[in-house]
Amino acid sequence: MFRTTRLAALFLLGIAAGGCAILGGSPPERYGGGATLTQAAKEAAKDSTQKRKRLDVGDEVPPAWGGTEVGVGVTSGLSEAPSTSGGGGGGGDPSHLVLGVVAGGGSLGGQEYEGFGFGGLDIGAFVSDRWRLDLGLLIVSPNLSATSVAGQGLKDELELAADFSARFYLTPPHTFLGVYPLVGMRFGTLFWSYRTPVNVIADGGPKTIEDDWLNNFSMYGGLGVSLVQTRNFSTGLNLTGGYREYDETTFEGFHNTLFPTVGYSQLTFEMTLKF
């Protein structure tokens, strides 16, 4: 069990260190400018009869030359780990790998959203009889409120997310029903198109922006129930709640004044196979 726990901890720490850049990429560093995402959405909502203005997103900082490369090495401590054979009460290497599908929906705080739906693939492993770690690869469909600035200026919104969670079953694995608390974190990128292209000044010249994206990070906790548990199959649901925090700047350089840090709740249905 020590081997599996160490590997899982290193994996999660590596993802956390990478931040939200794992999906959409970190926005380039800029200086000057001052255009906001709210201004961009309002410009995109204008029709052909309304006067449009060009927004200033500043200049992109060129990549550093001659910088000192920093290497991070991880020395494996597996050979130093004490042998756990024959002890640990439910220890040992993972007894089951898990592959499944998830789907559900939820609500986000604030005035910009009316809710969201999602679906995706779940990959996980039992690291002991009751501990399970999961990686979810999700496609999220947010519903922007039609009366909000975001809903009037943005369209075709879509979010891609990587979800990492851990759960502990309060019931033995041989029971037909299972109950578990879970905690997790999610890294996502919200993509969208502007309803009409936004004219900006970038790097000293004119530019037209048609789409953009913004990274986000979430943490959550909740409670779940396995409605059916057999040796190789399980299905159930969980209810979670947490908070979501968005980056300060979009990829194209607009300061994020549109999507604040909010709370959210989510109901997830899952169906998994154990190998």
Record the tokens describing residue 138, joined without a space: 């999700």
pTM over 0.75, yes/no: yes
Q: What is the pLDDT along the chain (275 residues), one digit of tens a residue?
A: 444 444 445 444 445 444 444 566 677 777 677 888 888 898 888 887 888 888 878 777 776 654 455 555 555 444 444 444 444 444 444 468 999 999 999 999 877 888 899 999 999 999 998 999 999 999 999 999 888 999 999 999 999 999 999 999 999 888 889 999 999 999 999 999 999 999 998 888 899 999 999 999 999 999 999 999 888 899 999 999 999 999 999 999 999 999 999 999 999 999 999 98
- Residue 149 zone, left/alpha/beta (φ > 0; ψ -120 to 50; rest): alpha
pLDDT at residue number 136: 97
Q: Classify residue 242 by burial, with Cβ atoms within 10 Å: 0-12, 13-18, 19+.
A: middle
Distance, CA of 59 to CA of 68 (rounded, Å): 24
Judge whether 224 and 266 are in contact, CB under 8 Å. no
For 231, which DSSP code?
S
DSSP type of residue 67: P
Per DSSP, the three-state class of 2 is: helix
Q: What's the Cα-to-Cα distance from 75 to each of 10, 17, 92, 249, rounded to whole Å?
A: 11, 17, 22, 36
Give me the sign of the Cα torsion angle 233, 265, 157, 219. negative
Q: pLDDT at position 21, please?
A: 47
Cα–Cα distance measured from residue 141 to residue 161, given in angstroms and rounded to the nearest whole number: 11
CATH of the domain spanning 2-58+93-274, picked from 2.40.160.20, 2.40.110.10, 3.40.50.300, 3.20.20.70: 2.40.160.20
Q: How far apart are CA 139 and CA 18, in angstroms?
A: 20
